Structure 1
Amino acid sequence: MKKRKFLLFAVLMLALSMFLAACGGGNDEGGTDTDTDEKATDDTPKFMSILTGGTGGTYYPLGGAFAKIVTDGTSIDTTAETTGASAENMQSLKDNKAEIAFTQTDIASYASEGKLMFEGNAVDNIQAIGTLYPETIQIVTTEKTGIKSVEDLKGKKVSIGAPGSGTAANAEQILEVHGITLDDIQKQDLSFDESVSGIQDGNIDAAFVTAGTPTAAVEQLSATETVVIVPVEADKADALIEKYPYYTKDEVPSGTYKLGAAVPTVAVQAMLVVKSDLSEQVVYDVTKSIFENLDQVTHAKAKQISAEKALNGVGIDVHPGAQKYFDEKGITAE
């Protein structure tokens, strides 16, 4: 009797073990499928944001065009967002608030190295897609202010750009090589649109605008006022470039804003950066979509953008996905 009970108990235990094993196997297999699904979701996001700048600058219209191109080319729903531009965009990527952003090359370098406005707060999760076009530093005023030189800005109400923008750093550095500090001007922290409104209303005298030319906000100003672009003369440009090598000499061409002659100034480069944790395939697709569909971008600045120049002056690491695209095209930095 005891033997029979023991055998019955053993059979029941064996059946229970097989049942539990089957359940465990099912859970393990289900867990593997879930992990795979999550991995696919992580590698290919359903939505992406491109951080741009103010509506009166160049980033915003270009960002809108790029967002449509990326959506069409990757099937990832991509939108452009207006922001305070370069420095704010770098912080937003660090805070995982977006995936792609416009910025200046100098600001991207400051962010990755933890310098200037990023001191003690380095952004370690960004990599480059590539550079786009020169971002011209335009010191904008009107004929009626009488301002003709950088030195004339002393004591005047001058907008140096939105808080957190790359324009503010450019303004401070340009003033510096002219022997002027922010204490020597009545500093205003305004977006491009706010700056233009301020000049039109007589509330400010001049504004720094770092953007591709022609810049929409300044074009609007030229419709009602005689615009003056204050020059950065060659000797001061040389001094600036010697101290801050990411600058290059540039000019605002004759005819822009109805100017009668070209005005010498300096520029940095606009660039696109991405979060470094985006997959190689996603960034490859984004890079290819943008550079192979520039004919769909109606903004005048698109004529200056090309894959062949995209690795020039990048200044930070290029994302492997973007690098794969450039390698396929045989493109290297000049």
Structure 2
Amino acid sequence: MTFAISRRAFTIGTALLAAGVGATRAFAQQAFFRIGTGGTQGTYFPVGGIIANSISATGPAGVEGLIATANASNGSVANINAIQSGASESGFTQSDVAAWAYTGTGLYEGKPKVEDLRLIATLFPETLHIVARADAGIKSVADLKGKRVSIDEPGSGTIVDARIVLEAYGISEKDIEAEYLKPGPSGEKMRDGGLDAYFFVGGFPAGAITEIASSMNITLVPVSGPEADKILEKYPFFSKNTVPADTYKGVGATETLSVAAQLVTSAKQPEELIYNITKSLYAEDTQKALAAGHAKGKAITVENAVTSAGIPFHPGAEKYFREVGALK
């Protein structure tokens, strides 16, 4: 098995050619299935790598004839754009961004609807983190005013949610010294004294935050109270969430919000292919690999797969979930 890791791609496996008449998972030719993830220090990238490894032909539960790769990207919006353009077969996205893309609302207001966007599965909750220097005097979101704050790169789901949170507290990007960096570079700049705080939406514990917490004192800024209630009322894809104490070194329990991480694809993808990929994703060997490989892997269950479905399921995924009784 080839297992090559780079900043641009997490490429797993060498395909096995489909062979044998009547093989239930056989394809007439090799299928290449690209999965857009996120930054290399976020949650999407490592989880995507485990999924790609597991569903590839070389995985114990893999789909015969399939080569799956997990590619680093700018996140939700970039992944949906890649699916729409045909540059990727699938991708990770936040549930809010997926719903906006499909309906042409929110972030996609005034833009063409991505009507072919389809859900394979909801994976795990993604937590809104606002990471701050412990000595920056930032106790609430309101304290971000006038501070040097990274809200992530354009094209990410994080930047969308950061703007929603800032707006709820009466803060615009003009009220902060905005930077547009991924979590890794944000942490490095914060450690070097060039940044006071940064936003990140992803499953905890996030590697980039764990790393920065090991080298300097940080805090997590809570998103709670009437402002959070206002967000929940206006944007029902958000949920209340709490980061447990000591998830990150020296940081107490912090109330915040979360959205759902989803694996999405295009309606143009063959039903049989997506059916087999979905079946492989929830096979016993894949489930074991996910549970052992990442803290959020244990949340990737059939029960969670059919929650927060703000867009239609792909027929192949729907067929599988109906077979196992997850959808009625």
TM-score by length of 1: 0.85
Residue identity opposite 2:327 in structure 1: T
User: Which consecutive unaligned segments of at least 5 residues does structure 1 have?
Assistant: 1-40
Residue of structure 2 in register with 1:17 after alignment: none
Residue of structure 2 in register with 1:296 after alignment: 289
How far the C-alpha of 1:303 sits from its partner, in A, is 1.2
How far the C-alpha of 1:228 sits from its partner, in A, is 0.3
Residue of structure 2 in register with 1:325 after alignment: 320
What is the DSSP-based 3-state SS (H/G/I as helix, E as strand, rest coil) of the residue aligned with 1:127? strand
Residue identity opposite 1:318 in structure 2: F
- Partner deviation per Cα, 1:109-137 (whole Å, 9 max, x = no partner): 11111224323232222100111111000
How far the C-alpha of 1:182 sits from its partner, in A, is 1.4
1:112 and 1:123 in contact (8 A); partners too: yes
2:43 and 2:203 in contact (8 A); partners too: yes
How far the C-alpha of 1:233 sits from its partner, in A, is 1.5
CA distance in 2, matches of 1:45, 1:97: 17
- Partner deviation per Cα, 1:247-301 (whole Å, 9 max, x = no partner): 0000111111124531000000000001111111100111111122221121111
How far the C-alpha of 1:202 sits from its partner, in A, is 1.3
User: Is the aligned partner of 1:155 residue 2:150?
Assistant: no
User: Is the aligned partner of 1:229 residue 2:203?
Assistant: no
5 Å matches for 1:128-167? 128-167=119-158
How far the C-alpha of 1:242 sits from its partner, in A, is 0.3
5 Å matches for 1:22-41? none
Residue of structure 2 in register with 1:82 after alignment: 72
2:35 to 47, 50, 73: 50
1:100 to 87, 90, 105: 90
1:159 and 1:204 in contact (8 A); partners too: yes
1:50 and 1:81 in contact (8 A); partners too: yes
CA distance in 1, matches of 2:251, 2:39: 28
2:307 to 297, 303, 312: 312
Residue of structure 1 in register with 2:12 after alignment: none
User: Is the aligned partner of 1:109 residue 2:99?
Assistant: yes
CA distance in 2, matches of 1:203, 1:295: 41
2:89 and 2:265 in contact (8 A); partners too: yes
5 Å matches for 1:245-260? 245-260=236-251
CA distance in 2, matches of 1:171, 1:321: 34
1:173 to 164, 172, 178: 164
Change (3 A) 1:160 1:304: same
CA distance in 1, matches of 2:319, 2:193: 51
1:93 and 1:125 in contact (8 A); partners too: no
What is the DSSP-based 3-state SS (H/G/I as helix, E as strand, rest coil) of the residue aligned with 2:39? coil
CA distance in 1, matches of 2:161, 2:30: 35
1:45 and 1:76 in contact (8 A); partners too: yes
1:204 to 184, 189, 195: 195
1:91 to 81, 84, 87: 81
Residue identity opposite 1:131 in structure 2: T
Change (3 A) 1:169 1:260: closer
- Larger-Rg structure: 1
User: Is the aligned partner of 1:64 residue 2:64?
Assistant: no
How far the C-alpha of 1:234 sits from its partner, in A, is 3.1
Larger deviation: 115-124 or 319-328?
A: 115-124
1:44 and 1:282 in contact (8 A); partners too: no
CA distance in 2, matches of 1:219, 1:260: 11
Residue identity opposite 2:150 in structure 1: S
CA distance in 1, matches of 2:71, 2:300: 21
Residue identity opposite 2:287 in structure 1: L
More helix by share: 1
What is the DSSP-based 3-state SS (H/G/I as helix, E as strand, rest coil) of the residue aligned with 2:229? helix
What is the DSSP-based 3-state SS (H/G/I as helix, E as strand, rest coil) of the residue aligned with 2:322? helix
What is the DSSP-based 3-state SS (H/G/I as helix, E as strand, rest coil) of the residue aligned with 1:128? strand
- Partner deviation per Cα, 1:222-253 (whole Å, 9 max, x = no partner): 11011200001232221111011110000111
Change (3 A) 1:43 1:199: farther
2:218 and 2:251 in contact (8 A); partners too: no
Residue of structure 1 in register with 2:16 after alignment: none
CA distance in 2, matches of 1:176, 1:331: 37
- Partner deviation per Cα, 1:45-64 (whole Å, 9 max, x = no partner): 62110000000100000011
CA distance in 2, matches of 1:98, 1:260: 38
How far the C-alpha of 1:304 sits from its partner, in A, is 1.4
